[in-house]
Chains A and B, each alone.
Chain A
Amino acid sequence: MIEIQNVRKSFGALEVLKGIDLTVQNGEVLTIIGGSGSGKSTLLTCINGLEPIDSGRILVDGTEVHARSTDLNELRQKIGIVFQQWNAFPHLTVLENVMLAPRKVKGMSKPEAEAMAVKQLEHVGLGDKLSVYPSRLSGGQQQRMAIARALAMSPKYMLFDEVTSALDPMLVGEVLDTLRLLASEGMTMICVTHEMKFAREVSDRVAFFHQGVMAEIAPPAELFGAPKSPDLQKFLAATA
């Protein structure tokens, strides 16, 4: 369970998170929608401790992420994150990209890590690209590799930060299919996305962020069917 309690976060004078309260249950798929600058991506990087927060608490399975005593490297093994820019490691093959963290962080043996990597790469449909360098892959394939790379750490939670935003429209589908697959397998996921159709399909709940505040949260049918706030109505009208 991920519990976010009254989290505030500023970059200089700009307050990007103005007291967020949110709980994500195990097995839940939550999508976050909202305009740019609404703070939705920042929240994800705070959840796995890549960004510090100014006040409030984030608890992952009861462990406070930003407490001094927390071993972030250990905690991050539980929380996979995939970014808009897929950040393939260019000097490693696809297989090595996925094997790196299991070997170095979890201390897996080489055959063990390789088996895990092959399994995850096959899972996202890249079983035939193992020994290829990322520069030979399309954006969509690189993004799926990034997903496999995160999955190889057997995370309990997966965070997706606009993973299709930097892709050619042609390649969006294959990545969304991968996310759908994970959702159907019961992975706990938080997805920041601009893909409304996807949000409507896979989410248990959808949250709408606006100017650093979580303006609305509801099951998709309700949120998309009967938006309450004028801001959300405007946002949906603009993205439709």
Chain B
Amino acid sequence: MFNYTFQWKQALARLPQMLDGAVVTMQVALLSMAIGIALAVVLTLFRLSGSRILSGIATSWVEIARNTPALFQIYMAHFGVASFGIHFSPWTSLLLGITFNNAGYLAENFRGALKAIPDTQARAGRSLGLSELQAFRFIVMPQMLRISFLPMTNQMVWAILMTSLGVTVGMNTDLYGVTQDLNALTFRTFELFAVAAVIFYLITKVIQLGARLLARRMFRY
């Protein structure tokens, strides 16, 4: 049927190397999510602070993250900051770029979630003597994270997919980077990237399944 001989064995022989790459991909994505969530909470607090400067910083961050390509953000973290004499490794640049993106999108999700939590919740907390920050920390934030759980799962999947962009700044230890290097050695482009695609697909499914199980355990109310 095809004038092409598929050589799957060649690609599968490289599976261990690719799985090592998949581990790096997951590490970067998980780390960027953990830092991204923390930063998004800070950005949310900035927006709630009533300070013009702080909410200006937060809004700029969110809008730039949402209105420019993720690849642009990674370029900025790599080539852009190099103009200031700061030279990050590909790994760091990729992490920074994805984290910036995650934080921006998540902060916007958090803002939407906050609208669904009545003001009276924080007020009830304040009336018990909790400080403003405590009321946020113990009453508002847990509910905010609960409402944002599905968007956070989606963002996690995005973070996995975004790791593939690291190759543009010279990353070669993640799944995409490893596959690209193997391709340069063997020229089995289709087979190698097909295997990589299957691995990516499985990772996202595992994340979605894991998130569902986690949600069932965490949110019993």
Q: Are B128 and A105 in contact (CB under 8 A)?
A: yes
| Residue pair A77, B129 in contact (C-beta under 8 Å) | yes
A74 interfacial by beta-carbon distance below 8 Å: yes
- Asked whether any CB of chain A lies closer than 8 Å to the CB of B14, the reply is no
With contacts A104-B134, A133-B220, A134-B221 taken as known, whether A89 is within 8 angstroms of B127 at the C-beta atoms is no
CA distance A133 to B146 in the complex (A): 15
Contact among B120, B128, B139, B221 with A76 in the assembled complex (CB-CB below 8 Å):
B128
Taking a contact as CB atoms closer than 8 A, the residue among A73, A89, A135, A146 that contacts B129 in the complex is A73
Decide if A101 is an interface residue (CB 8 Å cutoff).
Answer: yes
Chain A min CB distance to B43 (Å) = 22
- B175-192 vs A, CB cutoff 8 Å, 1 = contact: the mask equals 000000000000000000
Chain B hits for A77, CB < 8 A? 129
Identify which of B118, B131, B142, B143 contacts A73 (C-beta below 8 A). Answer: B131
A173 at the interface (CB under 8 A from B): no
Within 8 Å CB of B123, what residues of A?
50, 83, 87
Contact B124 A83, beta carbon cutoff 8 Å: yes
Please report the C-alpha to C-alpha distance between residue A149 and residue B130 in the assembled complex, in whole angstroms.
Answer: 13
Tell me whether A100 is interfacial, beta carbon within 8 Å. Answer: yes
Considering the chains assembled together, what is the distance between the CA atoms of A83 and B121 in angstroms? Answer: 11
CB-based contact B129/A101 at 8 Å: yes
Among B120, B130, B146, the residue within 8 A (CB) of A101 is B130
Interface presence of B66 (CB below 8 A)? no
Contact of B221 among A105, A133, A153 (CB under 8 A): A133
Chain B 149-174, CB-CB to A under 8 Å as 1, else 0, gives 00000000000000000000000000
When the two chains form their complex, are residues B127 and A48 in contact, meaning their CB atoms are under 8 A apart?
A: yes
Find out whether the CB atom of A105 lies under 8 angstroms from the CB atom of B134.
yes
- Collect the chain A residues with CB atoms within 8 Å of residue B129's CB: 73-74, 76-77, 101, 105-106, 153
Q: With A50-B126, A105-B130 as given contacts, are A87 and B120 in contact (CB-CB < 8 Å)?
A: yes
Task: Flag whether A90 is at the interface (Cβ < 8 A).
Answer: yes
Task: Give the residues from 15 to 47 in chain A that come closer than 8 angstroms, CB to CB, to chain B.
Answer: none
Tell me, in angstroms, the Cα distance from A135 to B146 when the chains sit together: 15
- Is the C-beta of A190 less than 8 angstroms from some C-beta in chain B? no
Q: A82-140: which have CB < 8 Å to B? A: 83, 85, 87, 89-91, 100-101, 104-106, 133-135
**Which residues of A are interface residues toward B (Cβ below 8 A)?**
48, 50, 73-74, 76-77, 80-81, 83, 85, 87, 89-91, 100-101, 104-106, 133-135, 146, 149-150, 153
Known: A73-B130, A87-B120. 5 other contacts (CB 8 A): A74-B129, A89-B125, A100-B128, A104-B134, A150-B127
25 A–B contacts from the bound complex (CB under 8 Å): A73-B130, A74-B129, A76-B126, A76-B128, A81-B127, A83-B120, A83-B123, A83-B127, A85-B120, A87-B124, A89-B125, A89-B139, A90-B221, A91-B146, A100-B125, A100-B128, A100-B130, A100-B138, A101-B128, A101-B130, A105-B134, A135-B221, A149-B128, A150-B128, A153-B128
